[in-house]
Structure 1
Amino acid sequence: MSSPYPPLPPRPPQPGGTPEGGGLRHAHWWQHTWVRYGALIALLALSGLVILALVREQTGTQGFLVGLGLAVLPVPLLVAAFRWLDRVEPGPWRNLVFAFAWGACAAALIAIVANSFATRWIATATADPSSADTLGATVIAPVVEESAKAAAILLVFLFRRRDFTGIVDGVVIAGITATGFAFTENILYLGNAFGTDQLSGDSGIASVTVATFFVRVIMSPFAHPLFTVLTGLGFGVAALSADRQRVRRVLLPLCGLLLAMVMHALWNGSSTLGEWGFFAVYGAFMMPAFAVLTWLVVWTRQRELGTVREELPAYAAAGWLTPAEPYALGSMRARRLARDHARRHLGKPAAREVARYEAYATSLAFLRHRGRLGRAGTDFVVREQELLHELWRRKDIARPALDHAARMTAPPVPVAMPPWPVHGVYGVYGHGRGHGRPTGPSRHPQYPYPQSQPHPHPHEPQPQPQPQSLYPHPRSPQPGYSGYSGYGPNQP
């Protein structure tokens, strides 16, 4: 039985390889993926062992265990919060695991070593240990710690660029990294507080430990994530910039990092502002900043859902999606209902497939949005093919669930595909079989939408629409050009 699915073009040859995907013929040993992953895992594991030994040496075994038990309490809540923000286009778990491990192991180790060395050097140079501690907390620590945490965001931005597409991705990676860093730092502070209580003769968890727990875990578990999220915002906005805007892509992360350092220095310096300095900074700066950033991220998430609803109808019109899917995929409630429907009727594996379908469809919408704005890279066509292929593999399971969710959540008025051309939300698209060059001031390329014409014999069976390819013709695109060419499957 022949499938209406248009055959995918062959995968383009890799550098030095073959069209069949042979990869690099003479790759050096350090260019293999497993070597890089192995080196990264070894680095993080070694950092973890070293930081474990240093913290245990400072707190003692009993203090370390108490600090570990108390410091782990806010971690699940913070991770769940950042995962909730990332529900529209959830990133791979390996990125989050790397970010947390980097913050808890590598960044914490860099901070402890660098802060201790700098504080001792200042104390020796000035012969004033108290001023050295103040300078170390308000100047050295913010610079060292925020730079160490920003390194994780930079690595994901450079080497996992496909998973780093906007503001929410930057916020999530930054927040998870800072959560790992705060986890290790809380073990140290809570363990030292417990040791202080033990030296004062108190048995069990006493006043200093309770006060430290209240300030660091109850009042300000979001402090480190709040600082580093400013850096993540800089990287997120840079990810939305075109590749040719290199100055902007460099300056924006640096500005975010600088703001994170300033906020961190203000927070650390609040203890030197008198008895009520901490509460003044907490109420005047930390809480408003936390509220503004939370609103910004939630607003960005809603805007991403709007992008999904605006971009996916192009693929529904060409036959790759059903008409109801763009609406269902643009609603978090409908997505949840689709997963629940699949789980109830086909089991947990089907629910996971629907979740993957939703993630791939969202990535496809974001890719098309960047292409229309001229921000897509040279791998636009290959990435689009990959995403459509993944969607088509899962359509038999995902489509019934999403159609059910759309029926359950749709407004009373039936959702219908708009006639073409469209003036409004989706821009102004052309009709001809052109080469996809931008038309008019909107700079929107022409797309191969099927024309809606009345059937001459309405009582006779009407042919069903077949999926059309949205891929550019091999002769049409030039390097760096993103957009569709307007060629359909029936053209030469």
Structure 2
Amino acid sequence: MSYPPQGQYPDPQQPHHAGGQPMQGGQQFPGGQHPGQQMGGQPTPGGGQFPGQQMPNQQFPGQQPMPHQQFGASGARVKKNPIVGPVIGALLGVVGLILMLILIFLTDSPTYSKLVAFVVTGIVAAIGLIFYRWLDRWEPEPPFLLIIAFLWGAGVATFFGSLVNDFNAALFGDGFAAVVSAPFGEEFFKSLFLVLVLFTSTRGRRELNSLTDTLIYAGIVGLGFTFLEDIIYIIRVGQTPEELAFIVFVRIGLGAFGHSLYQSIFAVGLWAGIRRGGASAWIFGILGYLGAVALHMIHNGVSQFGIGALVIVLLLEFVIFVVGIVIAIRSSIGERKNLEMQLPSMVHFGWVTPREAGWLANMQARKQILKQAGPHEQVLKDFIQNATELAHLRTRLDQMKIPPSQGLLENHADLAALLHEQRSVVDQVLGQAQPHAVPGGWPPIQGHPGPQYPAPQIPQY
């Protein structure tokens, strides 16, 4: 990636937005500052220049300015996009879940078996959800989409997966259904959430900003599937206390998070394709799906090869599980690094102010500011969300090997628009916050100001 020619700061009394032109209405950064100054109007180390380099004062060749007055026309669209796919997914999930629960309660099994099934599977689901919410701390996903993901796994994937397995078991036997039908069918129906529900909605596609996002959605789909499937198995098999203890050990002790693990393999492949764009999204997505099927098939088929093979497969799954945890944690940490890397250019182009940059990449400062936001808490949360999403999107654009699509550029403009529209409320909250709650200026974040990215030509209606 090439960077613009180096230059000096613009006059701090004439703050600049993207394109190097003064903001409309003579707007200024708080205290008359500009992107190269710390709070109180003092220059950053190095003679008041951009951290680690000089700050450009030129427009990028071949790019059009993105004046703030353009933002109002498209900015609100990000949060108002139709979400037909997720809504249909939610309805299907609820219907499927209700049907499966009816079948469960009609099963002729002891009451204590049903109670144990719901308690132990509920505990497993709760542990998984806590972990995924912890991973999701830097750029939290919309709760309604996470709920839909769980419902899809529990209601849609479990329902249709069971139908396919029962059909194949009747034709080819239980062994074929367990080793072939279940891995291919169940992973297919689970994977449909990311492919159909999110990718059929502009809003859904825009929520997939990092590997962490795909891991979270895929993992929660797997949790939903595990929750209901384990209930079914425990209730069917656990007719006596001994049988109940055995099946709980097998389902929970040996494979509590198996379905989330399989879907994580698919998520890694899908994200690798999304980053590259074009046909790669399908190619890598299919490879990820086949990887999930392969591990699922090995897990289901190992019982036919004796205890030695079972131990080997369990060790293999444990290693893959640990590697998956490490990848997920590193990806979550990478979300903060992405934000820190992109903040210099986001301040340079006027999308965030130096004071806002001082706490956006500080989790403790975020929490303190939100506590003091009062009635504006939701606006602050939205501002944090939009700034983090913009940072992820800019990193993705920087790394792309092909020209970005119109949709990605529109998303970039929309996120910058929302930040601009929310700034007055954010600055009001920051001005009223206790001094210790806001870090004293912009920390020395190293990096180059990346490209502005051209404003897309959005039709006016």
TM-score bracket for this pair, using the shorter chain length: 0.7 to 0.9
Relative to structure 1, the CA distance from residue 312 to residue 52 in structure 2 (aligned partners, 3 Å threshold; closer, same or farther) is same
Contact between 2:218 and 2:260, CA under 8 Å: does it hold in 1? yes
| Distance in structure 2 (CA, Å) of the matches to 1:88 and 1:50 | 36
For 1:184 and 1:311, the matched residues in 2 are separated by 42
Partner of 2:368: 340
In the TM superposition, 1:62-77 aligns within 5 A as 62=111, 63-77=113-127
Q: Does 1:426 align with 2:447?
A: yes
**CA 1:39–1:340: 2 relative to 1, 3 Å:** same
Which residue in the other structure is 1:168 paired with?
212
Distance, in Å, in 2 between the alignment partners of 1:279 and 1:406 is 53
Corresponding position: 1:9 with 2:66: no
- The Cα of 1:372 is off from its aligned counterpart by 3.6
- How far apart in 2 are the matches of 1:209 and 1:64? 10
Aligned equivalents of 2:180, 2:433: Cα separation in 1: 55
Instruction: Give the match's secondary structure for 1:268.
Output: helix
- Secondary structure in 1 matching 2:354: coil
- The equivalent residue for 1:49 is 98
Instruction: Kindly provide the amino acid, as one letter, of the partner of residue 269 in structure 2.
Output: G
Aligned residues of 1:270 and 1:277 also touching (Cα < 8 A):
yes
Number of positions where the alignment pairs a residue of Structure 1 with one of Structure 2: 383
CA contact (8 A) 2:263 2:292 kept: yes
Tell me how far 1:148 sits from its aligned partner. Answer: 0.7
Q: Is the 8 A contact 1:241 1:375 kept in 2?
A: no
Counterparts of 2:311 and 2:129, CA distance in 1 = 26
1:280 aligns with one of 312, 317, 321: 312
- RMSD, aligned CA: 3.2
Q: 1:318 to 1:353 in 2, by over 3 A?
A: same
State the distance in 1 between where 2:174 and 2:431 align.
61
Specify the SS of the correspondent of 2:235.
helix
Task: Pick closer, same or farther for the CA change 1:208–1:91 going to 2, 3 Å.
Answer: same
Per-residue CA deviations over 1:393-418 (Å, capped at 9, x if unaligned) read 4332257769745638x9xxx8358x
Inter-CA distance 20–281: structure 2 relative to 1 (3 Å threshold): closer
Q: Which residue of 1 aligns with 2:152?
A: 102
Please say if residues 329 and 335 of structure 1, whose CA atoms lie closer than 8 Å, have aligned partners that are also in contact: yes
Q: 1:363 aligns with which of 389, 394, 403?
A: 389
CA gap of 1:220–1:405, structure 2 versus 1, over 3 A, is: farther
Q: Does the C-alpha gap of structure 1 residues 301 and 34 become closer, same or farther in structure 2, counting only changes over 3 Å?
A: closer
| Runs (5+) with no aligned partner, structure 1 | 14-18, 22-31, 123-131, 198-205, 418-424, 430-443, 448-470, 480-492
Farther-moved stretch of structure 1 (164-173 vs 369-378): 369-378
1:221 aligns with 2:256: yes
Name which of structure 1's ranges 363-372 and 285-294 shifts more when overlaid on structure 2. Answer: 363-372
Cα distance change on mapping 1:404 and 1:325 into 2, 3 Å: farther
* 1:478 Cα offset (Å): 6.6
**What per-residue deviation string (whole Å, max 9, x for no partner) do you get for residues 185-236 of structure 1?**
11011112322x1xxxxxxxx2221222233224432111001111111222
In structure 1, give the amino acid aligned to 2:114. Answer: F
The residue number in structure 2 matching 1:249 is 281
Which of 166, 183, 186 does residue 145 from structure 1 map onto?
186
Q: Report what 2:39 is aligned to.
A: none
Normalization by structure 1: what TM-score? 0.69
Cα distance in 1 for residues equivalent to 2:228 and 2:244: 16
Give, in whole Å, the separation in 2 of the partners of 1:250 and 1:67. Answer: 38
Deviations 1:344-375 (A, max 9, x none): x455x555544333222101212233344454
* Counterpart Cα distance in 2 of 1:20 and 1:367: 18
Answer whether contact 1:322 1:399 (CA < 8 A) is retained.
no
2:236 aligns to what?
192
- Measured against aligned partners, the alpha-carbon deviations of 1:151-195 in whole angstroms (never above 9, x if no partner) come to 111121332101012211110010000000000011011112322
Cα separation, 1, equivalents of 2:107 and 2:183: 22
Q: Deviations over 1:405-454 (max 9, x none)?
A: 5638x9xxx8358xxxxxxx534x6xxxxxxxxxxxxxx54x6xxxxxxx
Q: Is the 8 A contact 1:357 1:390 kept in 2?
A: yes
- Residues 278 and 235 of structure 1, relative CA distance in 2, 3 Å threshold: same
Paired residues of 2:183 and 2:297 also in contact (CA < 8 A) = yes
Structure 1: distance between partners of 2:148 and 2:76: 31
Alignment of 1:85-100 (within 5 A): 85-100=135-150
Contact 1:165 1:240 in 2 (8 A): no
Q: Which amino acid aligns with 1:174?
A: A
For the 8 Å contact 2:273–2:284, the answer to whether it is kept is yes
Give 1:270's aligned residue: 302
Alignment partners' CA distance in 1, 2:367 and 2:224: 30
Structure 1 counterpart of 2:298, one-letter code:
L
Partner of 1:84: 134
Q: Matched residues in 1 for 2:208 and 2:349: separation?
A: 28
Contact 1:59–1:188 under 8 Å retained in 2: no
| SS across alignment from 1:74 | helix
Specify the SS of the correspondent of 2:276: coil
Classify 1:353/1:211 alpha carbon distance in 2 versus 1 (closer, same or farther; 3 Å). Answer: farther
Structure 1 residue 112 and structure 2 residue 162: aligned? yes
Using the size of structure 2 for normalisation, the TM-score is 0.74
After superposition, what is the alpha-carbon deviation per residue over 1:108-156, rounded to whole angstroms, capped at 9, x for unaligned?
A: 001111101101111xxxxxxxxx2222111111001100100111121
Which of the pair has the greater relative contact order for Cα pairs under 8 Å at 6+ separation? 2
Q: Distance in 2 between matches of 1:248 and 1:20?
A: 31
C-alpha distance after superposition, 1:33-55 (max 9, x if no partner):
58766644443332122222333
**What letter is aligned with 1:426?**
G
Alignment partners' CA distance in 2, 1:37 and 1:309: 32
Find 1:157's aligned residue among 199, 203, 208: 199
Structure with the bigger percentage of helix: 2
How far apart, CA to CA, are the structure 2 residues paired with 1:232 and 1:269? 23
* Greater gyration radius: 1
Letter in 2 for 1:143: F
C-alpha distance after superposition, 1:92-121 (max 9, x if no partner): 111111110010001100111110110111
| Counterpart in the other structure of 1:177 | 221
Identity %: 23
Aligned partner of residue 273 in structure 1, secondary structure: helix
Query: Residue 400 and residue 271 in structure 1: after superposition, are their counterparts in 2 closer, same or farther (change >3 A)?
Result: farther
